[in-house]
Amino acid sequence: MATEKPVTPTEEQLEILEFNFCKVNKYPDPTTLCLIAAETGLSEEQTQKWFKQRLAEWRKSEGLPSECGSVRD
């Protein structure tokens, strides 16, 4: 199975990704992810990976764990 080479989004692609992350939805469903990928010209996998990394950054900046998990007492 071939692995995808890391791609650095262009400034225009980043603007689209950031807009969708900040203004639309931090947790896009598969259909929305597909639409964002089509709009940016990135693959769905690249778009999903970007959202996952960006969400981890956002959670860290908010003082939250980088991964969602259940609350355990």
Where do the domains of the chain lie, and which CATH numbers do they carry? 13-53 (1.10.10.60)
In this prediction, residues 45-62 reach a mean pLDDT of 92
Q: Which residues contact 53 (CB under 8 A, 6 or more apart)?
A: none
**CA 13 remoteness from chain centre:** 12
**pLDDT of the residue at 73:** 35
Distance CA 22, CA 3 (A): 29
Query: Is residue 3 scored above 90 in pLDDT?
Result: no
**pLDDT of the residue at 43:** 95
CB 41 within 8 A of CB 7: no
Query: Is residue 5 scored above 70 in pLDDT?
Result: no
Please state, rounded to an integer, the average pLDDT across all residues of the chain: 85
Q: How confident is the model at residue 71 (pLDDT cuts 50, 70, 90)?
A: very low
